[in-house]
Amino acid sequence: MSKGSSRFGRGKASRSYKRRFLLICEGDVTEPDYFNQLRMLYRDSLIELKCLNRQHSGPHSLIKRANQAKHDLQKGDELWIILDVDEWTDDQFMALEKWSSQQENYHVAVSKPCFEIWLIFHEKNPNNCSKKACQAYFERNIASGEKGLRANWLTPDKLQVAISRAKARDTRPQGIVPDAPTSRVYLLIENIDEASSV
């Protein structure tokens, strides 16, 4: 065989496959807007972020959509459900935990109290973390329109700061729902960072 060739026929071409992160979000405006901006930060890496449509909100609906999407996964891909604490019950979160334990590439990122706290971490470390306060800050300082994000709002520096702030508040990472107000979206970003550096 010539130098650099493989008897299995997997030369440099195998590096062209983009590891995919399939995201099923509870929100249909803010979250997709955010992840579309995030995708632009990683556009030169071998990862693909894709927000999948879902018809209804709620843990069981998100699990149903995730189960439909799992057939599209290839080795190395990850499937994420992203949602807020809201008024969902312990039983509903137990169902999410059971779903995520089925495969190591199934993940759930819960934001407490809401996804907006994750966005706020990009700009500040808030003292008042109530849902009302988080949504008010988002509407005043981050939003464009009713629920969208300002264009080009997300930057690499903001992203790293948000990861640090969210992680610092997640002092008891056991279980699917954080004890303190924070967002486990940082876990998704850490996995994306790891995949993009391979």
pLDDT tens for residues 143-167?
A: 998 889 999 999 999 999 999 999 9
pLDDT of residue 9: 34
- Higher-confidence position of 34 and 48: 34
**Amino acid at residue number 19:** R
CA-wise closest residue to 24 among 88, 108, 91: 108
Q: What is the pLDDT of residues 19-47, one digit of tens each?
A: 899 999 988 899 999 999 999 999 888 78
Question: What is the rounded average pLDDT for all residues in the chain?
Answer: 88
* Partners of residue 20 on adjacent β-strands: 48
Give me the pLDDT at residue 53, please: 77
Torsion of CA 92, 57, 160, 145, to 10 degrees: -150
